[in-house]
Amino acid sequence: MTQHFPTPSLQTRLPAVGTTIFTRMSQLAAEHGAVNLGQGFPDFDCDPALVELVSEAMRAGHNQYPPMTGAAPLRLAIAAKIASLYGHQYDANTEITVTAGATEALTTAILCCVHPGDEVIVIEPAYDSYLPAIALAGGVPVRVAMELGQHGYSVPWARIAAAVTGKTRLIVINTPHNPTGTILRTADIAALAEIVRGTDIMLLSDEVYEHMVYDGVRHESLCRHPELAARSFIVSSFGKTYHVTGWKVGYVAAPAALTAEFRKVHQYNVFSVNTPMQHGLASHMASPQPYLELPAFYQRKRDLFRAGLAGSRFTLLPADGTYFQCVRYDAISHDKEAQFAQWLTSEIKVAAIPVSAFYAEGQESGVVRFCFAKQDATLELALARLRAV
């Protein structure tokens, strides 16, 4: 007779966390045979040359642990790219760290600098990993909602300034912004600098969509601005840049003092990142063309998607960056966003993400988000169904 032993009870560290909206909507899309414009990943392959470079790295014997900080050729390539694009010189040895994707980078940055009771300002709607990471660090999130007006979303800098207290340790910035597709511009950078000037507040800048800024506008990386770079962790993602989201390779650039603390946590979190992929990426970065051409590549898809919805009952919001398009649906339905997204998926056979899922308290704005990082045929099929709504 088998003896059964009780499992000890476990008090959750993340009581507010369940299955993510991205997982739920992707499952619903699969169940209903819907075109999945919900979760943010491409449905097309990366450059075959990149796969071959990774294979070459494997054959060359790059299959054991790399340095905890990242393979030296990749850190050098990252530093050279940042210097070329944004004019900021990071030391590849002491200021660049390769991470297991951007989410690990974001979580590690928060864990290394936020202590119990520290306040962290988060701008909502916000990527869903920020708040759980703050909770794990024992920090106190201070949420400030973006304003949604006739011309789309904007950051209310006066309200962010008012949210700063003596306990504020970190402000989380995301540009280009997921889910809204907005970008920070010169005036935004000036407002941010004014807020943190003369304080010990650090900045965590999520810039994973750095190469998806459209209409000839430049990406305002915080590292362009020395005053801000001196207090910033800059995060980016090879998955987004090279269409390999499943590889989970990203990086953090930060001043040496911040990097030293970041690496203390990183080494006991994941320690290091897939070796042959690092060497393959380093070789691929010898040519800047893939990321220099990315804005035009995705702008064409954005324009195709926007043109396809122009005559529909959806109202297009501005999409200045990322590969996401937000739309209002008030001319179609007054349902809550999650309910409307489920209806779109099950009945119209196109999956979307409710923007309310990016707010801790589910703020409703009558907006859903589509991902246009898809093959043209995928987008055309989705557009035909959406125009029929």
DSSP structure string for 236-297: EEHHHHTT-GGG--EEEE--HHHHHHHHHHHHHHT----HHHHHHHHHHTT--HHHHSHHHH
CA distance 252 to 386: 39
Convert the pLDDT of each residue in 193-219 to its tens digit: 999 999 999 999 999 999 999 999 999
Task: pLDDT band for 21, please (50, 70, 90 cuts).
Answer: confident
Convert the pLDDT of each residue in 37-96 to its tens digit: 998 889 999 999 999 999 999 999 999 999 999 999 999 999 999 999 999 999 999 999
CA distance 224 to 193: 12
The letter for the amino acid at 251 is: Y
Check residue 357 and report its DSSP letter. Answer: G
pLDDT at 150 over 90: no
Asked if CATH classification 3.40.640.10 holds for the domain at 48-286, the reply, yes or no, is yes
Q: Which of residues 21 and 223 earns the better pLDDT score?
A: 223
What's the confidence (pLDDT) of residue 294? 98
Average confidence (pLDDT) over 218-231: 98
Convert the pLDDT of each residue in 114-143 to its tens digit: 999 999 999 999 999 999 999 999 999 999
What's the confidence (pLDDT) of residue 39? 85
The domain 21-40+292-387 belongs to what CATH superfamily?
Aspartate Aminotransferase, domain 1 (3.90.1150.10)
CA distance 86 to 291: 14
Q: Hey, where are the domains in the chain?
A: 21-40+292-387, 48-286
What's the confidence (pLDDT) of residue 339? 96
Average confidence (pLDDT) over 363-382: 97
Q: What value does the mean pLDDT of the chain take?
A: 97
Per the listing, tokens 């988060």 go with 122
pLDDT at 221 over 80: yes
What's the confidence (pLDDT) of residue 148? 96
CA distance 389 to 381: 13
What's the confidence (pLDDT) of residue 130? 98
Convert the pLDDT of each residue in 275-324 to its tens digit: 999 999 999 999 999 999 999 999 999 999 999 999 899 999 999 999 99
Check residue 147 and report its DSSP letter. Answer: E
What's the confidence (pLDDT) of residue 27? 94
CA distance 309 to 316: 8
pLDDT at 1 over 80: no
Per-residue DSSP letters for 166-189? TTEEEEEEESSPTTT-----HHHH
Pick from 13-27, 51-65, 162-176, 263-277: least confident: 13-27
* Percentage of the chain exceeding pLDDT 90: 95
- Using DSSP's 3-state secondary structure scheme, residue 159 falls into helix
